[in-house]
Structure 1
Amino acid sequence: MITSFYFYAAILVVFGLFFVVFPFIRKEKSIETNPNANALRISDYESRLEELSQEVETGKLSEDAYNTAVVEQKQALLQELAPEQQLNQHGNRSVIALTASLFTLTFCIVFYLMTGSFNLLTQWQDAKDNLPELGKRAVLQQGEPLSNNEMQELALGLRTKLAEQGDDEMAWLLLGRIMLMLNDYESANMSFDKAIAMNANNINALVSKAQVLMLEGADHSINQAAKVVSQVLKIEPSNTDALSMLALIAYERGDWQQSLAAFELILGRMSETNPSYAMLNARVEELKVKVAQQSNNSEQNSVGQGLSVSVNITLADELKDQLPANGVLFVFAKAENGPPMPLAVVKKPQWQLPLTVTLSESDAMVAGMTFAEFKRVKIVARISIDDKVDTQAGELEGHTQGFDIEQINQVNLTIDKLL
């Protein structure tokens, strides 16, 4: 590639020099000169002057006319001697052409060095040449760890390979990991998506994508990371990385029970000699305390809640690909035979199914419209595309049959309908 650049650059320079030099070197009309021609012209000039002098002496020509005639003869002689001047001028034009060529060439070199991308072109070529070695060091951990500059060089080489040779699952995965180490989360996420598009069951790409989403830290990113982790665990239930992220996601959401279950599962597969064992064990003990406190608080709160119902919510398998991006979960209870206004509503911007939600009289929307007023109720769960309770096309919904809330305090609900 560098050789081609030099070749085409040389062609352009030569082409430019041609336009600069051509006016000075183009072939002029040839003038044949006789070595004795100038001597004859001078002799004729002197003879003509003698004739004019004789005419003045004989009175045929006045003094003023004589002087005018002499000037005309001198001008005619100079014109006849013009071939010598043209030859001298031709020699001067060659010097000008050479000078113009040197100036043009120097200007082109200086201008390119100041404004061109020669260094970037060289770096690009080096990235292509060093790709096998850098890739081996990155994948096989051979030699010294890659520096920040070497990771950028490896990323450039991988992009070039993908552009020239087409999509490659491993290349996209490696590029994503390099961009993740460079803290370029957007490029890393895009690279992992490319690898997943080529192989939806690529565990490494799915786990890496979940890591990127968790590092982004936004609520919608965390929700998406949870979905990716769930996909990994369906393919490989014992994947330690996925279990670790599931535990962390649940911990961030305050779901102590799920976080504890995930951490206990990881800890049960880990040797006590593992350096991370003590840290995870401490986290498990911390979560046990939190779960106990949460259970006590729930029992205390239930005393003042009056009637309540626990709703175990799941999602139908055929709708898992229809989940709205950044959807909000609404769970509400309505009277089986009564006004359309919900008796109790719970809104969850962050959620992950399956999920258990408790509806109680403390969740009532309007005073006087509670479970105590309407004994038979039905539960509705809806995944909204925004944070509004109004139904819209593309939302998912499910509901239970009517039941007596005084006799039943736990129901199962499956979201199985696409609106």
Structure 2
Amino acid sequence: MTLFWIITAVLVLIAIAFFAVPMLYGKEYDDVASRDELNKAFFKDRIHELENESQEGLVENRQELVSELQQSLLDDIPESEVKKSVQVSAGMLLPGIILIVGVSYGMYASVGGIQKVEAWHDAVNRLPQLSQRLLGDNAANEPLSDQDMSDLTLALRTKLHDDGDDPMGWLLLGRIAMANRDGETAEMAMKKAYDLNPVDGDIQLGYAQSLMLSGKPGASDTARQLLRNVVKKDHTNVQALSLLAFDAFEQNKFEQAIAYWTMMKKLIGPDDSRAPMLDRSIERAQERLNADDKAKSIASGSAATATTEAAPKVGAEQAKQQVVATISLAPNVVMPKQGAIIISVHSADGAPMPIAAVKLPLTTPFPLTITLTDKDSMMPQRKLSSLSEMIVRARIDSDGNVMTKQGDWYGESQKVMLGGDTKVLINKQY
């Protein structure tokens, strides 16, 4: 910031120099030389006129007239040349200098965005702190707000502008963009990281995830190849197996999906909190595998409805570690022809990154009641039960790409305590 003010001071001094130097030293001029040039021009014009008049017979004593002109020209030449200059005192320059400084800094204060510049530098200085909070390394485990996420993105972009050869920086930017559902930025950042370090497993995994979420033609094939490379190097990479299983399920390759989920169960063990979720996924894939095309659609809707209706039948202790949401549609909502229903739980401050989420088929009837528990948590280290207060959001995803929101209908609940019930009315559109 100090360098910035030094540069502005230098620019203002240059402007003052352009103003003061000509005023102090003046502009020399020579009246004698100017008069001499004028006399010469007059002499030449008169000689030309005399020649014309002599040819027409109007002048008989032409030579005498020329001699008189020459004599008058010689008489007008001064004995010595005198040069004059106009100068001003330094005191007369002071008002102009004050005006230049005042106008320069006044205009910058008015239209230069000094507050935004200061906020930008503050965000850059907070980059280490914000990065630790994002990764959950701070002792208070304080979640990032929307403004914090925006500041972190700005600071990280600044760092990458100065040091664009940092693959881990691009990886972090891509993860933040995915959390903010900015698919274009996520894919760009992940590709930058991959181009810089194509052999790193985390970068391959992140780039594959961004490609799968982009929905571009051919992107899924590249993503699958990257994920297979990750699993080939590290067959215990649960996240890569999970993405492959999800992709196989979306491609109606249910046998592959079951194989991946079964492998994941063996890796994490029966005591892991994710095991029940994997059991449900395997059961769902098995049902789809055993049904015909018509029964698949019905079974998918029935399975989701059965899950939402059976949720309240839990013990009293479990009921304290969950949140029950009833989702309904406003009359003006226009349902898309395809898509999904995404229900997510967020911290009470409204942070964009969900703590838990459930995706239901669009055929699920409204109003619907769903119970979200720790089994639906996005990350094992951050469970739904760790929140004492939360909000529930529901969105009708119209294009099958969870990264995009344009045109989607959504709604949000009031703050609700852990173990409580809430209602969500979908009545707004992005």
TM-score by length of 2: 0.47
Q: Which has the higher contact order (CA 8 A, sep 6+)?
A: 2
Larger Rg: 1
TM-score by length of 1: 0.49
Which has a greater percent of helix? 1
